[in-house]
Structure 1
Amino acid sequence: MGTCISKTAQPDIGTSEAEEKTNSMSVTKASYKITVKTGDQKGAGTDVNVYIILHGKGIKTNESKLDNFFKNDFERGKVDTFSFDSEVDISEVQRIELRRDNCGLYSNWYVDWIEVTIGKKNITFIFPAMKWIKANGRYFFHHETCLPQNDLFLESRKLELQTIQAEYQLKVHIPGLPAQVKKLPEDEKFSFHYKVTVALKGLKLKGESFKLMLTNGIEWENVDDVKTTYTKAFGVPQGSKDFNDNAKFGRQRLSSLNSLLIELCTKIPQNFGVTEDMIKDFLENKTMKQAMDGKKLFIVDLAILEDCPTKRKDLVMTCPLALFYFNDSNRLMPIAIQLFQKKGPGNPVFLPSDPKYTWMSAKMWYNLADSTYHQAVTHLNNTHLMMEGINPHFLYLMAINSLALATLIDPGGIIDNNSNAGIEGHFHIIRKSLPFWKLDLHGTLPEDLKRRGVFDESVLTGAYHMRDDALLLYDAIKTYVEKYVLLYYSTDSSLTADYELQSWGAELVKSRDDGGVGILGVPGDGKFKTADQLVLTLTSIIYTCSAGHAAANFQQYDEYGSPFNYPYYLSGVPPKDKSPVTEETILKSIPNREILLQIMIITKILSEKATKSLGDFEKQFIVDPKAVKVVEEFRQTLHEVGKTIESRNKKREYSYDWLLPKAIPNAISI
């Protein structure tokens, strides 16, 4: 939605359409207090001279210098207060005009926000900035919220948009993948505090890793030897507490990192070699048809991984099918796994009744495929890469993606060296997923659940924690978006007249080859004619960039940190028959200590919440009192959602804390 409270930065364009003029009449002097918050980005502080002009309706003050005598103003992360008197008495400060010169040793300056308080009236107006202020330009920051068609300062707004468009041009950096910003804008870079915090965590864990390898060597002595990596610095991953547990394997499909794959099974695929006789002992005296009719049989098909390239020729990637039964104790249990798509003698269906470590091996090779899909599609593509092109206005999303391109998903980087698929395998899967992914289906939680036959709470009752909690959050976000949108788009005509909004919609569906985002399934094909279309689009984006990412991200250490539980790297070959597999074979298949520690370091860092919780915004762009009220109502709703989830967790056998609102960041910032 285009509003006057978005970031504004333009060269001097003279007076606005409102024909502002300085009031030269002799009046009693008015006093103004100016409060300025300098950002904490590296180099944000400045020694330059800063000047301000206050604009009211048809009037403005003379330019005043912001300077406190004998004080070092505008230091990084500091708040400074200034005051000046003027013969111009403004009852409502509608916008401020800011500029700086190029004097002093440190000329860069990043402003978070500016407040103007009118002395006698003691009325404060807030002007969000969140911008680097460059020398000798004039920057306008607005207090009022309005649509572009109603903006009194239309020309400066158009110039602002042109400047932003030039800085935020999109480009496909990796062929076949989503578009990303050509070059990371200065305004999108990590704050100094954030960079230092993450860097220190990484250094601490790398030091611990080096010490562990020096002390214990690279190869494992036995199964229990893996536990020696779980020192105080790392902590014990939850997944390591359930060794070869079928119930845990079932819970991973419902309440772990990749909980949006499982589907209601209404028919066994022709290429899945499972039969009635194979699984009758696991269906609690039901036939396969009775289990299907009772909505108790579920399937996951990872055919998308077929022909996935691997990092080396000696590494294998599976593309499995798995069948699950929801038993009378409300537990989802695995009952059949086929590791490759083409059924046949060399590709058996593995069962819980198979030899202990043969069945365990089948589950591990299944989870290798699951973890690879999770990291490539669920996490990297559907949240990080896809969302960067859709909307850059989420804290640090562009910064973390830029960092990932340089260190995480680059050739020879962490993913490339510590996974079977390597980066080419991950990119291969992403390319296969893009042609069918649609915003209004796969990217909209209720519709995605309906597509998979698991929307109704009567299905997987009491076990599908991710679904149950996520729907509460989706509804809360949708209600918030509806209220906010209707504040400014009271009629459909006001929505269609917003040319900024319509341009954004057009960019969403525009081909990536032409500099667009290339998203399928945008309501109205990007032409927003009704508020409902806009609400669905915004709700899906906000949900994905908050709750969706939290569900796919913050359990990473707890899962990936346990190689028997959720392997991301496996050596050797999957079992090809029902012959017994030894514990030694299992031990040799998992990553060695060096590779596991690399996986543990990155997933530990990625699992740390580093920004504020959903609704507690780091950057306060919303200043319109009506909109502020909507935000407060949203926060109260989130508080109630949190209480509901906490109450549910007390009754659950295994609590699910990942979608508590306080655990969900506002944006994809890690």
Structure 2
Amino acid sequence: MSGAWVRRQAGGRLARSAGPVPAQVDDYTVQCQQDLGDLIIVRLYKERYSFFPKNPWYCNYVQVCAPNGRIYHFPAYQWIDGYGTLALREATEYVAEHWAEDSFFGYQYLNGINPGLLCRCTRIPDKFPVTDDMVAPFLGEGTCLQAELEKGNIYLADYRILEGIPAIELNGQKQYHCAPLCLLHFGREGNLLPIAIQVPGVQAWGWVLCECCQRLSQTPGPDCPIFLPSDSEWDWLLAKTWVRYAEFYCHEGISHLLETHLIAEAFCLAMLRQLPMCHPLYKLLIPHTRYTIQINSIGRAVLLNEGGLSARSMSLGLAGFAEAMVRALSEINYDNLYLPNDFVRRGVQDLPGYYYREDSLAVWDALERYVTEIITYYYPCDAAVEGDLELQSWVQEIFKECLLGRESSGFPTCLRTVPELIRYVTIVIYTCSAKHAAVNTGQLEFTAWMPNFPSSMRNPPIQAKGLTTLETFLDTLPDIKTTCITLLVLWTLSREPDDKRPLGHFPDIHFVEEAPRRSIGTLRQRLAQISHNIRQRNKCLPIPYYYLDPVLIENSISI
């Protein structure tokens, strides 16, 4: 038997004696007669037709006491306004307790909300002059930097795409920005740990600039020190926090907004304009476009508008945020969107403990096999692909409107064979579903503890060692107002829709033939097996990774 204990505070009037009076605090205990197994998520429902009025409730937290004695703690500290659902996950508290640890810092590159940035390093770049003397104490006995490079145990996180973007003022105070570099080592104990961080200092590019126009480059120099784990506690923590700050922009602007929301919107609009409803590709793709245009339109109006929430919480402002996306768009390559290629390109195809890689490839394989069955049913030969003018118009519009006609992107302007079409459609469906889930589902868990994911920095990058204190560290983090706005944005982005449709569940019947409907059933079976495998594996993990559990992946980008 499991027991759940809920504490909440009422914030409005209730009729007669049906509930608490305003501002009253109550504890609720709910008994369950069966073992619920490992808990991943708790959802609190405030139903329209219960005795609860529409007045807002404030939920502090939920504690679940399992039969084996384990106590799950799900922090909430949020209002339930109106009727709806509040989804709670346990990981938020874990982040608050472990965010400063090197092991958790490294873990986030593998299984956090931006797991596609890390690359294997085979040669130390000239702009990051790390020497063996610097890092030898952190590599273990009997080895050296060159040996670890050759073994493939050194990894690099390079935020060069953020280089040179100017910061703005927030709340009347100048903000600061930089493009750090971080070197990590995968050690014998199985942990990925940071061993060197370069935090660029303020430099003028070619001529003297006024203070408000100063840029930050990755050029090494006396004002661009390399910080090490052996430095003072606060120096090292602040260096890692600058890296986490850069992660904010690479995740929110590039991995999340650009590479899922905006690209999926281009796929969707081209489909609506070029493919009629009776077209088999329309039937295959339409479930994966549900609400995408609507949610992006709301985002532009509420989050990305001039003077809106994002503009008031990011040190780069809307212009700098857009600049990062423009740069990333100019580097998007079609071959890298084929998921198996991306892991090989980054040299992380055999990196242990990379559960994101394991789960994403499993889901990718299920989707690719599903797409193969559908495509080969409707396109029995290459000539059928090449002769489909509506299909070719769809592909051409995506190349022109999404990639802006950039030939170096490698995006096709036409498709000539069945395998080419299978690859293309698999990329589209994966982008619109699992790829978004990987970077969106855990947002609030990893970001609610602001020092782990700051959106702005109030002091310039540290240019000398030994000067950072607790006071200067806190003064560098975002102020309270900026933090609150950022949390509001991230909370908004993390809310689940009330009518969520998990991957593979298509209640709207578009295919009427028996063969594609059998393929849908087979897809669900494969996804159910993946879900089972993930949950069994997670039982043995200190930090469960479930963002790509198919039951938590939506068919489309709807939030």
Query: Normalising by structure 1, what TM-score?
Result: 0.63
For 1:306 and 1:333, how far apart are their aligned partners in 2? 24
Structure 1 residue 397 corresponds to structure 2 residue 281: no
Question: Counterparts of 1:163-242 in structure 2 under 5 Å?
Answer: 231=77, 233=79, 236-242=92-98
Q: Which secondary structure does the structure 2 equivalent of 1:309 belong to? A: coil
Structure 1 residue 500 corresponds to structure 2 residue 360: no
Checking the alignment, whether the CA contact within 8 Å between 1:309 and 1:428 is kept in structure 2 is no
Checking the alignment, whether the CA contact within 8 Å between 2:502 and 2:551 is kept in structure 1 is yes
For 1:465 and 1:559, how far apart are their aligned partners in 2? 16
320, 344, 353: which one aligns with 1:425: 320
Q: Which residue of 2 aligns with 1:245?
A: 101
Name the Cα RMSD after superposition.
Answer: 2.3
Larger gyration radius, structure 1 or structure 2: 1
Checking the alignment, whether the CA contact within 8 Å between 1:613 and 1:664 is kept in structure 2 is yes
Q: CA deviation at 1:232?
A: 5.2
Structure 1 residue 648 corresponds to structure 2 residue 505: no
Q: Which residue of 1 aligns with 2:156?
A: 299
Q: CA deviation at 1:351?
A: 0.6
Q: Which residue of 2 aligns with 1:46?
A: none
Q: Which residue of 1 aligns with 2:281?
A: none
Q: CA deviation at 1:439?
A: 2.4
Q: Which residue of 1 aligns with 2:368?
A: 478
Q: CA deviation at 1:522?
A: 7.7
Counterparts in 2 of 1:204 and 1:454: CA distance versus 1, 3 Å: farther
For 2:527 and 2:114, how far apart are their aligned partners in 1? 24
Q: Which secondary structure does the structure 1 equivalent of 2:452 belong to? A: coil
Q: Which residue of 2 aligns with 1:271?
A: 127
Structure 1 residue 591 corresponds to structure 2 residue 478: yes
Q: CA deviation at 1:295?
A: 1.3
For 1:344 and 1:471, how far apart are their aligned partners in 2? 41
Checking the alignment, whether the CA contact within 8 Å between 2:177 and 2:461 is kept in structure 1 is no
Q: CA deviation at 1:605?
A: 2.7
Q: CA deviation at 1:239?
A: 1.9
State the AA in 2 paired with 1:612. R
Q: Which residue of 1 aligns with 2:221?
A: 344
Q: Which secondary structure does the structure 1 equivalent of 2:325 belong to? A: helix
Structure 1 residue 372 corresponds to structure 2 residue 261: no
For 2:444 and 2:491, how far apart are their aligned partners in 1? 5
State the AA in 1 paired with 2:147. Q
Q: Which moved more, 1:425-434 or 1:586-595?
A: 586-595
Q: CA deviation at 1:391?
A: 2.4
Q: CA deviation at 1:405?
A: 1.1
Checking the alignment, whether the CA contact within 8 Å between 2:312 and 2:485 is kept in structure 1 is no
Q: Which residue of 1 aligns with 2:174?
A: 314
Structure 1 residue 281 corresponds to structure 2 residue 137: yes
For 1:621 and 1:528, how far apart are their aligned partners in 2? 24
Unpaired stretches in structure 2, ≥5 consecutive residues: 1-47, 49-54, 61-74, 80-85, 201-217, 270-285
Counterparts in 2 of 1:334 and 1:565: CA distance versus 1, 3 Å: same
For 1:411 and 1:485, how far apart are their aligned partners in 2? 43
1:86-127 Cα shifts (integer Å, max 9, x gaps)? xxxxxxxxxxxxxxxxxxxxxxxxxxxxxxxxxxxxxxxxxx
Checking the alignment, whether the CA contact within 8 Å between 1:438 and 1:520 is kept in structure 2 is no
Counterparts in 2 of 1:524 and 1:657: CA distance versus 1, 3 Å: closer
427, 432, 435: which one aligns with 1:540: 427
Question: Counterparts of 1:501-540 in structure 2 under 5 Å?
Answer: 501-510=391-400, 518=405, 525-540=412-427
1:510-551 Cα shifts (integer Å, max 9, x gaps)? 256xxx864767878232111111111111111111110011
For 1:588 and 1:250, how far apart are their aligned partners in 2? 25
Checking the alignment, whether the CA contact within 8 Å between 2:379 and 2:385 is kept in structure 1 is yes
Q: CA deviation at 1:496?
A: 1.6
For 2:158 and 2:367, how far apart are their aligned partners in 1? 31
Q: CA deviation at 1:608?
A: 2.8
State the AA in 2 paired with 1:370. E
1:307-343 Cα shifts (integer Å, max 9, x gaps)? 1122328211110110000111111000000022111
For 2:254 and 2:461, how far apart are their aligned partners in 1? 23
1:280-322 Cα shifts (integer Å, max 9, x gaps)? 0011121112111221110011111011122328211110110
1:216-255 Cα shifts (integer Å, max 9, x gaps)? xxxxxxxxxxxxx962549645421214111110011111
State the AA in 2 paired with 1:449. F
Checking the alignment, whether the CA contact within 8 Å between 1:609 and 1:665 is kept in structure 2 is no
Q: Which residue of 1 aligns with 2:186?
A: 326
For 2:123 and 2:487, how far apart are their aligned partners in 1? 39
Counterparts in 2 of 1:230 and 1:628: CA distance versus 1, 3 Å: closer
Checking the alignment, whether the CA contact within 8 Å between 2:333 and 2:411 is kept in structure 1 is no
Q: CA deviation at 1:434?
A: 1.5
Q: CA deviation at 1:618?
A: 4.7
Checking the alignment, whether the CA contact within 8 Å between 1:439 and 1:537 is kept in structure 2 is no
Counterparts in 2 of 1:263 and 1:522: CA distance versus 1, 3 Å: closer
Q: Which secondary structure does the structure 2 equivalent of 1:277 belong to? A: helix
296, 306, 314: which one aligns with 1:411: 306
Q: CA deviation at 1:384?
A: 0.7
Question: Counterparts of 1:563-602 in structure 2 under 5 Å?
Answer: 563-602=450-489
State the AA in 1 paired with 2:392. Q
Q: CA deviation at 1:438?
A: 1.6
Unpaired stretches in structure 1, ≥5 consecutive residues: 1-195, 197-202, 210-228
Q: CA deviation at 1:208?
A: 9.5
For 1:577 and 1:654, how far apart are their aligned partners in 2? 36
Counterparts in 2 of 1:517 and 1:644: CA distance versus 1, 3 Å: farther
Counterparts in 2 of 1:245 and 1:470: CA distance versus 1, 3 Å: same
Q: Which secondary structure does the structure 1 equivalent of 2:450 belong to? A: coil
Query: Normalising by structure 2, what TM-score?
Result: 0.75
Counterparts in 2 of 1:613 and 1:477: CA distance versus 1, 3 Å: same
| Percentage of pairs with the same residue | 31
For 1:519 and 1:562, how far apart are their aligned partners in 2? 39
State the AA in 1 paired with 2:450. P
Q: Which residue of 2 aligns with 1:616?
A: 505
1:120-178 Cα shifts (integer Å, max 9, x gaps)? xxxxxxxxxxxxxxxxxxxxxxxxxxxxxxxxxxxxxxxxxxxxxxxxxxxxxxxxxxx
Structure 1 residue 659 corresponds to structure 2 residue 548: yes
Q: CA deviation at 1:594?
A: 2.8
Q: Which residue of 1 aligns with 2:381?
A: 491
For 1:323 and 1:335, how far apart are their aligned partners in 2? 6
1:479-502 Cα shifts (integer Å, max 9, x gaps)? 111111001001111222211111
For 1:230 and 1:339, how far apart are their aligned partners in 2? 35
Q: Which residue of 2 aligns with 1:452?
A: 346
Checking the alignment, whether the CA contact within 8 Å between 1:439 and 1:519 is kept in structure 2 is no
Counterparts in 2 of 1:518 and 1:636: CA distance versus 1, 3 Å: farther
Counterparts in 2 of 1:431 and 1:480: CA distance versus 1, 3 Å: same
621, 625, 629: which one aligns with 2:518: 629
Counterparts in 2 of 1:520 and 1:415: CA distance versus 1, 3 Å: farther
Checking the alignment, whether the CA contact within 8 Å between 1:237 and 1:557 is kept in structure 2 is no
State the AA in 2 paired with 1:378. S
Checking the alignment, whether the CA contact within 8 Å between 1:272 and 1:321 is kept in structure 2 is yes
Q: Which residue of 1 aligns with 2:236?
A: 359
Q: CA deviation at 1:651?
A: 2.3
For 2:491 and 2:507, how far apart are their aligned partners in 1? 23
Q: How many residues align?
A: 441
1:353-375 Cα shifts (integer Å, max 9, x gaps)? 11001100011111111111111
